[in-house]
């Protein structure tokens, strides 16, 4: 292991205009963050980049710009091999431009309600695209050999990813 990726959690730094979707996520998840992102260095370009699903698309943003828009709540540094880091960056490059799956993100609500009653259901809303915590879970699942199923990945909130990382990494 000679490199790393960072899975981070944040919330908007601006209170106005009121970011309703972010506040709804924090209320639903009962957390102080609303967003999950992946950060890594692109050594060939001497840049720290954030890979995220935000706005209407999956996108990249320079770390310096991201920090002006978000309050960083917590980050987990995950040691990976150089090959794994390259695979994560290649995955991110391939995903840029994918639509933000807002409707499918709302499908997490019935999944969580069913879980309260001991029932496991799949996300009932299928939509092409991804959301922030899904991207983080995919990176963890595909490149760090974490045993999430595809159905679990499609139902993860930022807090679900965070809680998993706390349990595994402390």
**In this model, does residue 105 exceed pLDDT 80?**
no
102: exposed, middle or buried (C-beta count within 10 Å: 0-12, 13-18, 19+)?
Answer: middle
**In this model, does residue 151 exceed pLDDT 90?**
no
Percentage of the residues of the chain whose pLDDT score is greater than 70: 94
Structure tokens at 137: 């879970």
CA distance 60 to 52: 6
Average pLDDT, the chain: 85
Domain 3-169 falls in which CATH fold? endopeptidase fold (from Nostoc punctiforme) (3.90.1720)
Spatial CA neighbour of 8 closest among 38, 28, 32, 31 = 38
Stated as kind and residue range, the H or E segment containing 23 is helix 20-29
């Amino acid at each position: 292991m000679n490199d790393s990726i960072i899975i981070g959690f944040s919330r908007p730094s601006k209170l106005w205009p009121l970011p309703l979707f972010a506040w709804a996520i924090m209320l639903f998840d009962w957390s102080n963050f609303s967003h999950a992102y992946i950060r890594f260095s692109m050594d060939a370009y001497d840049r720290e980049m954030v890979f995220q699903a935000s706005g209407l698309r999956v996108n990249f943003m320079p770390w310096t710009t991201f920090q002006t828009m978000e309050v960083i709540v917590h980050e987990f540094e995950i040691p990976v091999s150089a090959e794994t880091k390259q695979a994560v960056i290649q995955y991110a490059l391939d995903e840029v431009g994918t639509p933000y799956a807002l409707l499918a993100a709302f499908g997490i609500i019935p999944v969580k309600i069913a879980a309260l009653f001991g029932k496991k259901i799949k996300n009932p809303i299928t939509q092409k695209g991804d959301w922030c915590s899904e991207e983080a879970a995919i990176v963890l699942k595909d490149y760090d050999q974490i045993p999430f199923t595809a159905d679990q990945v499609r139902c993860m909130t930022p807090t679900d990813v965070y809680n998993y990382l706390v349990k595994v990494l402390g």
